[in-house]
Structures are given as structure tokens and as C-alpha cells.
Amino acid sequence: MTDARPLGADEATFIAVARSGDAARFALITERHRRELQVHCYRMLANYEDAQDMTQETFLRAWHKRGSFKGHAALRTWLYRIATNACLDFLEKRDDRTPVPAELPYLQPYPDRMLPEDPQESVVARETIELAFIVAVQHLPPRQRAVFILRDVLGWPASKAADALELTAASVTSALQRARVTMREQLPDRRLDWRSPAPHELSHDERGVVKAYIDAHERNDLDRLTSLLRDDLRFAMLPGSGAVITTAKDAVDGWVAGGLFQRGHDDWRGVTTTVNRMPAAVLYLRTPDDPEYRLFAIAVLRIVDGKIAELTGFDTTGKPWLDLPPAL
């Protein structure tokens, strides 16, 4: 089934370019969709670098399949279809069935500067880019995941999603119902409306908590840091074992056992930022034999009622796309 729509200007231009074989003009037309397609791939894969690769794979497949585009559906829809199937092919090879409640070892943060610039697309990205949402989606089987994202995130009708995935509308409806049950289980306290702060902005309370979190590090004040954490804190440090700690006490005990917050030894500096539309602290550590503060980690925080409810730490090694200064 295809969209019942007249041939639009974008589609007519694309068909003309496809027939001419002009690769440069083809790239210009498709490039405008890169950011939204990359966010789509990130939701499917939870990994920024894999999402980049699959977005590029989407453009390569689109070029090779350009002769099959007849304008029956919007160009954007056609590209989303290709991107979705590229991700499904990737997931089939990755076979990353993750045991609950383990964190995803391949999870990566998404830089806000790479989110779509279009206001409407930015709203969609903001509502469904938070780490908890991304992790929850990964608990869906790949095809169920695709159905859920196409239907509930992008708002596609069942017939359109079925066409993209080569399924029946009844199969899509059934898969969506199962996916919604899993999502409610994975986000029991949070709804399926995914409310988030305004674009590029943190609330006053969020900024205050991030500032206090950084200040506690800079003062090596473990008691102050502990006071910022909810008792039922959910903590994970990635990449790593994928283990999730679910109490503040266990998290703090682990930090102490790991040698962090040694009074008189650790010398921290921090910078407030955002990733995945969430408040985050970039932490820099200076050792006694080094004159500079070196990039150590980025801590992404979910803040509820003035307390840190979730803390996901990411090693910043080998992540130039975060665009963080290597030293202060």
C-alpha cells in the first residue's frame, strides 16, 4: 500500500535527478534529511556511531535503489523505510539480546548539537531521545522496535508502517500492542508521553542540581554528593560490564572502593552541558603529576524533585563527536 498523494516538488526533482544519475545533486537533496534519519537510527540502535554508519548506509542504498522511487510516497517516507530496514539488517547481525536489568554495553550518548534543527523535528527528538526511553526501546525485539518507533514516535498509520516493513496491517497492530506493554513495564513511573524540558534549556532546579553535583566533586565532598542522590538511584558506567546499581548506597560504596573521592588526592573540575536533551556534567580530573585537568567522563543525569534519580556515566575516550575539550 502507498500514500494517496500527488507528486510533490521534492519528489519530482528527486525523480529527475535519479534519472540523470547526478550524484552531487542527489546528495544535496537527501542530505537535508540526515539529522532526522540519524536520530531514527539512534533510537533503533542506541549507539551514536552505529547510527552514523546506518545513516550513510541509507544514502548508499537510496542511490542504488533510486530508479525504484516513483513518487507514490513522500521522499522522506521512502528514506525512513530504507533506514529502518538497514537498521533491522544491522540488528540481525549484531544479535544483542540484553538480559534485564543489565544496561546496554553499546549505549552511547547523543550530542544535542546533532539533533534536527527543524522546530517540529526537534520536538519529536526531544520527547524520545532521553536515555531511559532509548534503553527501554532496546528491550523490544527488532521488528517490534521498528513498529513501535514508526507508529508511536513518528506517528505513521498502520498501513504505512506495514508497507515499510512488508507486514500486514494486522501484524503491525499486534506488534504495537505487545511493544506498548513492554514499554510500560520498562518505564513504570513515567508514562508514554515522554515530557521533557524545552529545547536547549534546563530548568532552574536541574541547573542547581548539576552545579551542586560538580561542586561536590570539586570539593571532594562525598557527603554532599550522597545527599544529591535518591535512595533508589539507578547507576551505570559505560562501557563496562553493563551492570546496573539500583541504590545510592551501593553506588557510593563502589566509588569509594574504586578509589574515587580520596581527600587530598582527587582534583576535579566540571562543566555543565546537555546530551540526549538531559542535564549532564563533564568531569575533568587532574593527577598530582599533571598540570592540566584531563577529560575523565560525562555523567548524564535524570533529576526528579531536586534529586538525581538516574546517573549514567560514559567514558569519553574515543568519542570526538561529543566535541568536548580534552583538557582544561
For 169-180, the pLDDT digits (tens) are 999 999 999 999
Going edge to edge, which strands form the sheet with 229-238? 229-238, 307-315, 294-304, 278-286, 267-275
Q: What does DSSP assign to residue 288? A: T
Mean pLDDT for the chain overall: 87
Alpha carbon distance 70, 292 (integer Å): 58
Task: Categorize the per-residue pLDDT at 99 as very low, low, confident or very high, splitting at 50, 70 and 90.
Answer: very low
Q: φ and ψ at 321, to 5 degrees?
A: -70, -15
Please report the DSSP string for 224-235 in residue order: HHHHTEEEEEEE
What is the mean predicted confidence (pLDDT) over 49-62?
A: 97
Alpha carbon distance 56, 207 (integer Å): 36
pLDDT of residue 1: 43
What is the mean predicted confidence (pLDDT) over 59-87?
A: 91
Residue 97 pLDDT > 90, yes or no? no
Q: Are 177 and 191 in contact (CB under 8 A)?
A: no
Choose between 66 and 200: higher pLDDT.
66
Q: Which residues share a beta bridge with 299? A: 281, 313
Choose between 262 and 218: higher pLDDT.
218
What is the mean predicted confidence (pLDDT) over 142-159?
A: 95
Q: How far is CA 176 from the centre of its chain?
A: 21
What digits encode the pLDDT tens for the residues 279-313?
Answer: 999 999 998 888 999 999 999 999 999 999 999 99
What is the mean predicted confidence (pLDDT) over 260-288?
A: 87
Range scoring the smallest mean pLDDT among 35-44, 197-206, 244-253, 268-277: 197-206
Task: Categorize the per-residue pLDDT at 269 as very low, low, confident or very high, splitting at 50, 70 and 90.
Answer: very high
The sign one gets for the Cα dihedral 36, 39, 41, 43 is: negative
Range scoring the smallest mean pLDDT among 72-76, 144-148, 197-201: 197-201
Peptide bond into 101 cis (omega under 30): yes
Strands 307-315 and 229-238 turn out to be parallel
Range scoring the smallest mean pLDDT among 15-19, 183-187, 267-271: 15-19
Task: Categorize the per-residue pLDDT at 2 as very low, low, confident or very high, splitting at 50, 70 and 90.
Answer: very low
pLDDT of residue 5: 52
Alpha carbon distance 230, 207 (integer Å): 17
Domain covering 204-322, topology? Nuclear Transport Factor 2; Chain: A, (3.10.450)
Q: Which helix (H) or strand (E) holds 281?
A: strand 278-286
What is the mean predicted confidence (pLDDT) over 147-167?
A: 95
What is the mean predicted confidence (pLDDT) over 185-208?
A: 69
Q: Show Cβ contacts of residue 162 under 8 Å, excluding neighbours closer than 6 positions.
A: 1, 168, 169, 171, 172
Alpha carbon distance 177, 188 (integer Å): 16
Share of the chain above pLDDT 90, in %: 63
Residue 210 pLDDT > 90, yes or no? yes
Residue 128 pLDDT > 80, yes or no? yes
Q: Which helix (H) or strand (E) holds 165?
A: helix 158-165
First to last CA, the chain: 56
Residue 195 pLDDT > 50, yes or no? no
CA torsion angle 112 230 104 111 (round to 10): 10
Give the start-to-end residue ranges of the domains of the chain: 9-186, 204-322
Residue 9 pLDDT > 80, yes or no? no
pLDDT of residue 242: 62
Q: Which three cell numbers stand for residue 115?
A: 539533533
Residue 100 pLDDT > 70, yes or no? no
Alpha carbon distance 208, 281 (integer Å): 12
